[in-house]
Structure 1
Amino acid sequence: MCGIVGVLGRVEVAPRIVDSLKRLEYRGYDSAGVATLVDGQLVRRRAEGKLRNLESVLENAPLAGSAGIGHTRWATHGAPTVTNAHPHLAGSVAVVHNGIIENYLDLRDEVSAAGAVLDTETDTEVVAHLINLAMAAGKSPRDAVADVLPRLKGAFALALLFAGEDDLLIGARKGSPLAIGHGEGEMFLGSDAIALSPFTDRITYLEEGDWAVLTRSSVDIFDRDNTQVARPEAKSSVTSSLMDKGNYKHFMAKEIHEQPEVLGHTLSRYFDYTSNQASVEGADALNFKDLNRLIITACGTAYLAGLVSKYWFEKYARLPVEIDIASEFRYRETPVCDKDAALFISQSGETADTLASLRYCKEHGATIGAIVNVPESTIAREADRVFPTIAGPEIGVASTKAFTCQLAVLAALALQAGRERGVLSEAREKELVAELTEVPSLALKALAAETDIEKLSQPLSKAQNALYLGRATNFPLALEGALKLKELSYIHAEGYAAGELKHGPIALIDENMPVFVIAPYDAIYEKTVSNMQEVAARGGRIVLITDERGAAECGNAAENTVVLPNMTDIVAPIIYALPVQMIAYHTAVFMGTDVDQPRNLAKSVTVE
């Protein structure tokens, strides 16, 4: 979502802010801006589109000043224009904002009645006017912010700069993340540790409802009741050097190819290879043995990882699983009790709907587990137990390595649950763990199919629609394949359980319809291939993704076949994710879309 940077520095800050904002491009945005204090006055520069446009503006009209704030905006209220771009100014106040002010229309009427003239269509501008009006009535910046924050409904992270206050920066968070960076004679605000990585590795994360007053030499933090509080300082493991594409054209390509390595790291954390057992630290808190059920909640690709794991938990642990999309779960008034455990999956650990669902389950007594790629995130901090993926920073908006690492963690949890519940024998667990140890090498072999995938992706780039089919754990992969193709190439695609083909989707099949069939040679291979034959009989253009045995058995129904190594059932969902990712990636490259930052999308969805 939107990115925030604030700097109280010792030298000119505009170039440093832009450099930091570049590290937030992965979050998704459609305009950008910077404001600094120049001789005590607020001065800003803004631009539509990418940061290079803002850099051009700054080259033509440089900004001086050693105190400033910057922003990358993902439009919610108002079109992505220069006028609506942040920072917004009102009198002596400049503000950047991530989130949504839900009661902004009432507040807009209020400030207009008080004589304020609003220039934008945004919800953010009213925040600057409210604070400016409070200051005009005699309040200090600190007191004005304390007066206004309780009146804002919704989710927000704010960074505020004030005319005439060269040594003051105020930040606040409710729902959206915000962190403080500690420097030597400098202080910083940022949306996350990645934003702060060019400046410092000393980070303090604001808790829900916190707001902070920064000078170059001090930080005062207050909770939602305006009581001064202490928050711990942590050392971030994120470094600015990680934000590099290396020899790859896109971050997504780099992250696809990192999967053999990061899967190895993740698996080695969650499996004891000396005993061939799942060994998940903290999993005992979930009390798998006595659970009535496991609730899994997530959004987007993370939800699909959870959907794969439902098959695993129910097969290997005989543990009933209820899984739902977080934006639906949070409003369903689902019965939850202290005999339940709930797992929440999020790459960023800041997804708004997932976080709200976590809080709902916590309020109703469930034990909370979090699978996140950012151990310092809000979801991680509010969970009872955290199970981090070891994927490293994922910059491409479309999740790749985070997804497969989520699957690796979930596989470990499912096997441990099976052992604790007395369902999975020691011998069978050892077999499954031994199979999972092959994942890094199998992932490397799967990447060898990229040349063939690139060739079949070129004609696919001319399609208008596509269909993905799979059964069992391959059904969630069909959903994931369709999602990836949609978000990267903008081709309409749908994923279906293959057995549902005759219940509607078959009506779409014609000679122009690419149909991707995900079918490793397993116990239900023949049933999936039967569905494939039904597509072939109607002229559909079939791309079969299978293994060596499956390719040998399928006949000539497929127009193209992507052949992977033979592998077992528990391994297949992790490995088959790679060709699905590469198909979407190369199709998008042929179409010339923005692979790392697809239109209208954000990496971290921190608003509803």
Structure 2
Amino acid sequence: MCGIVGYIGKKEKRDFLIDGLKELEYRGYDSAGIAVLKDGEITSFKATGKLSNLDHKVENFSSTGFGVGIGHTRWATHGKPTEANAHPHWGQFSYIIHNGIIENYKEIKDELLKDGITFLSQTDTEVAVHLFEKNVRELGDCFKAFEKTIASLHGAYAILLITKKEPDVIFFAKNAVPLLLGKSSEGEVYFSSSDAPLIGLAKEVVYLEDAQYGWAKNQDITLLKEHVQQQLDFKPLIHDKLSAQKDGYRYFMEKEIYEQSVVVGETLMGRIKENRVILDELCGFDFSRIDAIKICACGTSYHAALSASYMFERLSKIRCNVEIASEFRYKEPLLDPKTLFIVISQSGETADTLEALKMAKKSGMPTLAICNVDNSSIVRTADATILTRAGIEKGVASTKAFATQVVTLWLLSLFVGTAKNTLDEEILKSEIRALLHIPLVLKVNEAKHEKIRRLSKRYLHGHGFFFIGRDVFYPLALEGALKLKEISYLHAEGYPAGEMKHGPIALADSELFTIALMPKNLLYDKMKSNVEELGARDSTLLVISPEPFELADDFIKTQAHSHMMGEFFEMMLMTQLLALEISIRLGNDVDMPRNLAKSVTVE
């Protein structure tokens, strides 16, 4: 999500800032900007869309000689992707860039408005630069003012700030969002969201820890935490840019599995407050006029949609049905303006889904897009959009896009239930507690990953896989099977566990591998009976459950969760890692599976 770069030194600032941001494009963005402070004056440039637009704006700008510079790629959270909302943001004498969410920005903004401060953007970030300048005026010291400013901010942030009052300094702070600083042999200081922009420039780096902040003044770096000075723990920087983008993981898919905890946190940021779901994107929707929901999607997004259908009916108490977009387009569907039409797409360019959306709009249905790419075709077409904030997903087989789609739809089901007054207050509080716990659930346990890697060697042959589950775990079974077939090229099917006896159980033998999703919180005894039926037919059983299962040939123990969606997301992790490790053992290119494209823009 987003990207930050910063520089202190004598070289051309423009080149490092633009090139550094290009190295961070993979994180996803919808606007970008830079600011350079040289000879006591700050020059800034901002542009929406691709970095090439910003590059064109700065092509005649030169900034050689000593100075400081900051650059940022933004993914919109508060406010639309406009130049006014793009970073850097400025006050009277300072500029700031920021990744993350300032959760208490509204309270800070209200106080600043009372002081007569004028705001130029809709963002949460702008409050920080105005608060800093207010503190400078009150304290007369930029360093104390920055320290006081950071102490006032609640939430997640990586911040760089420059000011005319201290023209050779970059102020920085980090909490729950990545930020590192580096030094070159020539005494230059660099900042970045990841290693990649610094390779070939900085020889060593410090990976900042949460709640650390400080300032870099030429070659002198001060690092603090809770007012106490910290040691600078410099580490050598790796020398391969692709490896840097992968953060040391073997494949982008593996990296994306591991970063699901972080991106789901991004999905939730700013959308839950005081036991309420806040979706500003839907402030214009009148849910009293909506009596049903229809969801249309393809592939992995279709599985997220199926998962959502259980949540909408269980939590929102509203009828919900799900359609495969390529089928929906040609079935002459009956479309009702009282039905909310939701489309889901990672890329926002999925051809079948886009055409289904156009059909719904033509019929007069209210439309909503759940998407990962702002300004994509689907986003531009729909009446409203909720962005999933997964960042760019390089692995063709979707992982973090699926996780953020399901979380977004879960949020939406609670929002709809509240809007229609069909959701009990205590249930809402319980669901929100469970939602906020999901980023912790998605932290990969290294020992568990190693166990999956070791047992994967038993699943490289046979005549196929059945992934089975019930209720919301049925679409998860479909998704687990899809992940395996996409990257391993082995045959796999997802099936409702209760349907096995109606035909598919005829395939059961020792060469049929059954991956059984057995949550404790949902229909455990029913699942147990279904799995026992397969075991009796000699199917090889891999059981994923918090409860030991005596008949299992292999068993992956999950944590005990109080909510079924905690089990859902942990089991999702297990199936993703299983597909990954089987495919790696088979020698496949996990990131680029044969015959598949990341964005399917044809029928």
- The TM tier, using the shorter chain, reads 0.5 to 0.7
- Offset of 1:185 from its aligned partner? 8.3
- Offset of 1:352 from its aligned partner? 0.7
User: 2: distance between equivalents of 1:261 and 1:591?
Assistant: 29
Give the paired residue count.
391
TM-score for the superposition, normalised by structure 2: 0.61
**2:558 is the counterpart of 1:564:** yes
- Offset of 1:563 from its aligned partner? 1.1
| Residues 531 and 263 (structure 1), Cα distance of their counterparts in 2 relative to 1, 3 Å cut | same
**2:260 is the counterpart of 1:266:** no
1:62-461 alignment runs, 5 A limit: 181=53, 183-184=55-56, 244-272=245-273, 275-444=274-443, 448-461=447-460
Partner-residue secondary structure (3-state), 2:516: strand
Task: Please tell me the residue identity of whatever aligns with 2:497.
Answer: A
| Residues 23 and 436 (structure 1), Cα distance of their counterparts in 2 relative to 1, 3 Å cut | closer
8 Å Cα contact 1:295/1:323 also seen in 2: yes
- The Cα offsets for residues 184-223 of structure 1, whole Å up to 9 and x where unpaired, read as 3899xxxxxxxxxxxx9799xxxxxxxxxxxxxxxxxxxx
Identity of aligned residues (%): 38
- Offset of 1:588 from its aligned partner? 0.2
8 Å Cα contact 2:467/2:477 also seen in 1: yes
- Offset of 1:419 from its aligned partner? 1.4
Partner-residue secondary structure (3-state), 1:521: coil
1:512-591 alignment runs, 5 A limit: 512-547=511-546, 550-551=547-548, 554=549, 556-567=550-561, 568-591=563-586
User: 2: distance between equivalents of 1:252 and 1:333?
Assistant: 38
- The Cα offsets for residues 207-262 of structure 1, whole Å up to 9 and x where unpaired, read as xxxxxxxxxxxxxxxxxxxxxxxxxxxxxxx9985972120110000000001111
Aligned partner of 1:601 in structure 2 is 596
Aligned partner of 1:101 in structure 2 is none
| Residues 255 and 569 (structure 1), Cα distance of their counterparts in 2 relative to 1, 3 Å cut | same
Aligned partner of 1:216 in structure 2 is none
Aligned partner of 1:60 in structure 2 is none
TM-score for the superposition, normalised by structure 1: 0.60
Aligned partner of 2:484 in structure 1 is 485
- Offset of 1:373 from its aligned partner? 0.9
Q: Which has the higher contact order (CA 8 A, sep 6+)?
A: 1
- The Cα offsets for residues 467-507 of structure 1, whole Å up to 9 and x where unpaired, read as 11100001001111111110110000111000001011101
User: After the TM superposition, which segments of 4 or more aligned residues of structure 1 sit over 4 Å from their partners?
Assistant: 20-24, 177-182, 200-203, 238-243, 445-448
User: 1: distance between equivalents of 2:258 and 2:601?
Assistant: 28
| Residues 325 and 286 (structure 1), Cα distance of their counterparts in 2 relative to 1, 3 Å cut | farther
Task: Please tell me the residue identity of whatever aligns with 1:256.
Answer: I
Partner-residue secondary structure (3-state), 1:444: coil
Structure 2, unaligned stretches of length 5 or more? 1-21, 29-48, 60-71, 76-192, 198-240
Aligned partner of 1:99 in structure 2 is none
- The Cα offsets for residues 544-563 of structure 1, whole Å up to 9 and x where unpaired, read as 1112xx22xx3x11111111
Task: Please tell me the residue identity of whatever aligns with 1:504.
Answer: G
Partner-residue secondary structure (3-state), 1:343: strand
Task: Please tell me the residue identity of whatever aligns with 2:291.
Answer: N
User: 2: distance between equivalents of 1:468 and 1:569?
Assistant: 18
- Offset of 1:334 from its aligned partner? 1.2
User: 2: distance between equivalents of 1:179 and 1:185?
Assistant: 10
8 Å Cα contact 1:295/1:343 also seen in 2: yes
Task: Please tell me the residue identity of whatever aligns with 1:490.
Answer: Y
* CA RMSD, Structure 1 to Structure 2 (Å): 3.2
User: 2: distance between equivalents of 1:477 and 1:202?
Assistant: 32
User: 2: distance between equivalents of 1:512 and 1:283?
Assistant: 50
8 Å Cα contact 2:522/2:564 also seen in 1: no
- The Cα offsets for residues 377-399 of structure 1, whole Å up to 9 and x where unpaired, read as 11111111111112111000000
User: 1: distance between equivalents of 2:577 and 2:74?
Assistant: 37
Partner-residue secondary structure (3-state), 1:369: strand
8 Å Cα contact 1:468/1:479 also seen in 2: yes
| Residues 459 and 22 (structure 1), Cα distance of their counterparts in 2 relative to 1, 3 Å cut | farther
User: 2: distance between equivalents of 1:562 and 1:396?
Assistant: 25
User: 2: distance between equivalents of 1:497 and 1:246?
Assistant: 37
Partner-residue secondary structure (3-state), 2:293: strand
8 Å Cα contact 1:308/1:573 also seen in 2: no
8 Å Cα contact 2:441/2:569 also seen in 1: no
- Offset of 1:590 from its aligned partner? 0.3
8 Å Cα contact 1:408/1:574 also seen in 2: no
8 Å Cα contact 1:286/1:341 also seen in 2: no
User: 1: distance between equivalents of 2:308 and 2:445?
Assistant: 21
Partner-residue secondary structure (3-state), 2:500: helix
Partner-residue secondary structure (3-state), 2:442: helix
Task: Please tell me the residue identity of whatever aligns with 1:585.
Answer: L
